[in-house]
């Protein structure tokens, strides 16, 4: 596994920045193209998919970098994760990835104004000391796929080490962590992996690390003192799913300690109407567009409810069986009904779920907090949601 960048497009407004020079020196692309932002964005909309996966656009954004996960409207419950959108798109090629439908170009954009990114983060977290922020760089990209070229994660780990009410999550499907293992992270970084059975990885997650490599790498991160996270999202329904997913969960807990796991998420396959045509075009061998799905109230296509609930219930049972009762498991973008039927508990709102995270982390990793989290602090209108 590796990502050979063949083309780098450079916005003329950032061409003199040190990060641009460093990126080009480390990636050694065959071609460097200097251009203006409007021209390259328009031109890359129809860029060939495979070429786009090997191309990067170095630019800057006029909008905010630190936001909260857009989530979904009621009745679906979001966990209120903070996101740092430093990179958009990914060099890997997962058939189900929403980015291929959500973004209008296959080329990965790397934003170069890192100081503004971190300034937004520090200002917001300082303005709301009563809230514990969970923040990721892995919403619109894989956190580590281009880390050797950007160096973003090491710089963020150093910054988060000194923020008293926040924790960083680096989400990945790679095995690129060796450059992070000796850093002084202060226990305030979670490195998390998206997991699926190897059968699914082979068919639907092209260019990613194998299941064994992901879990082995997680074990290395654990030994280096990092907290861990795991995301079984999307869960895929197919004839052998029960056998494959149970074996995956069992393998996970054979390699890592449940006492170092900050959280595990579960989410089922979902995509916007029309995305199945994009999957068929870019990934013609994929079987995902032909599953037993319906258009849900959110407007997205999802597995029918009995399939979704069985996926969640079996996964929860296996996690508790092999990892114990204390692992924090949550459902990603699901209804209160799904929570209640599979977890015997339902968050009352996004704010309530945000508090549940804080309370669980405080009980297990008290060093992360300067004060005990209080539910009322999370229910007082969530003013910091106004980041957008």
pLDDT digits (tens, 9 = 90+) for 65-123: 898 887 666 788 888 899 999 999 999 999 999 887 777 677 899 999 998 988 999 99
| Digit-coded pLDDT (tens) for 341-371 | 999 889 998 899 999 999 999 999 999 999 9
| Digit-coded pLDDT (tens) for 203-262 | 999 999 999 999 999 999 999 999 999 999 999 999 999 999 999 999 999 999 999 999
Checking if the pLDDT of 388 tops 60, the result is: no
CA 50 to each of CA 45, 57, 107, 231, 360: distance values in angstroms, whole numbers, following the listed order: 13, 15, 9, 26, 42
Query: Shortest CA distance to 193 belongs to which of 268, 143, 158?
Result: 143
Indicate the average pLDDT of the chain. Answer: 91
With bands split at pLDDT 50, 70 and 90, how would you rate the model's confidence at 53? confident
Residue with tokens 């002084």: 184
Q: Are strands 261-268 and 205-206 parallel, antiparallel or unpaired?
A: unpaired
Residue 39 domain-assigned (yes or no): no
Per DSSP, helices labelled H in 58-189 are: 99-102, 114-127, 147-150, 152-160
**CA–CA dist 160, 125 (Å, integer):** 11
pTM of the predicted protein model? 0.94
Residue 2 domain-assigned (yes or no): no
**SS3 of residue 66 by DSSP:** strand
Instruction: Report the pLDDT value the prediction gives residue 72, as an integer from 0 to 100.
Output: 63
Residue 149 domain-assigned (yes or no): yes
Residue 174 domain-assigned (yes or no): yes
Residue 156 domain-assigned (yes or no): yes
**CA–CA dist 311, 237 (Å, integer):** 8
CB 35 within 8 A of CB 12: yes
Checking if the pLDDT of 383 tops 60, the result is: no
Residue 376 domain-assigned (yes or no): no
CB 96 within 8 A of CB 234: yes
The total domain count for the chain is 1
Write the DSSP symbol of residue 382: T
CATH number of the domain within which 229 lies: 3.80.30.30
With bands split at pLDDT 50, 70 and 90, how would you rate the model's confidence at 320? very high
Query: Shortest CA distance to 318 belongs to which of 173, 172, 190, 197?
Result: 197
Q: Tokens at residue 281, please?
A: 């075009």
What domain range is 330 assigned to? 62-99+112-367
Tell me the average pLDDT across 178-202: 98
Checking if the pLDDT of 142 tops 60, the result is: yes
Tell me the average pLDDT across 140-159: 96
Residue 33 domain-assigned (yes or no): no
CB 271 within 8 A of CB 98: yes
Residue 34 domain-assigned (yes or no): no
**SS3 of residue 198 by DSSP:** helix
């Amino acid at each position: 596994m590796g990502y050979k960048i063949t083309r780098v497009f450079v916005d003329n407004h950032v061409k003199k920045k040190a990060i641009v020079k460093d990126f080009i020196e480390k990636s050694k692309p065959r071609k460097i193209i200097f251009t203006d932002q409007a021209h390259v964005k328009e031109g890359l909309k129809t860029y060939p998919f495979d070429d786009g996966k090997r191309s990067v656009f170095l630019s800057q954004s006029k909008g905010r970098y630190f936001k909260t996960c857009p989530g979904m409207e009621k009745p679906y419950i979001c966990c209120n994760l903070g996101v740092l959108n430093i990179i958009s798109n990914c060099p890997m090629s997962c058939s189900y990835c929403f980015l291929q439908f959500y973004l209008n170009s296959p080329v990965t954009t790397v934003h170069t104004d890192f100081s503004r990114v971190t300034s937004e983060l520090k200002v917001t977290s300082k303005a709301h000391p009563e809230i514990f922020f969970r923040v990721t760089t892995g919403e619109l990209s894989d956190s580590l796929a281009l880390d050797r070229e950007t160096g973003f994660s090491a710089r963020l780990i150093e910054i988060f080490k000194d923020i008293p009410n926040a924790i960083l999550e680096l989400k990945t499907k790679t095995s690129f962590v060796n450059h992070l293992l000796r850093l002084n992270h202060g226990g305030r970084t979670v490195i998390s992996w998206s997991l699926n059975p190897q059968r699914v990885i082979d068919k639907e997650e092209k260019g990613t690390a194998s299941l064994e490599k992901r879990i082995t790498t997680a074990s290395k991160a654990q030994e280096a003192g990092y907290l861990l996270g795991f995301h079984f999202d999307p869960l895929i329904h197919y004839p052998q799913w029960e056998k494959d997913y149970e074996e995956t969960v069992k393998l996970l807990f054979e390699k890592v300690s449940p006492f170092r796991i900050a959280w595990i998420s579960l989410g089922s396959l979902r995509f916007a109407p029309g995305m199945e045509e994009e999957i068929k075009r870019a990934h013609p061998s994929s079987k995902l567009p032909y599953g037993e799905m319906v258009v849900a109230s959110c407007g997205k296509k999802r597995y029918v409810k009995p399939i979704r609930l069985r996926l969640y219930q079996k996964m929860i049972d296996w996690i508790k069986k092999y990892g114990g009762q204390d692992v924090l498991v949550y459902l990603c973008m699901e209804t209160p009904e799904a929570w209640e039927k599979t977890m015997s508990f339902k968050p009352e709102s996004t704010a309530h779920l945000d508090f549940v995270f804080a309370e669980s982390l405080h009980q297990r990793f008290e060093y992360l907090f300067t004060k005990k989290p209080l539910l009322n602090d999370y229910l007082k209108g969530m003013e910091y949601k106004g980041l957008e």
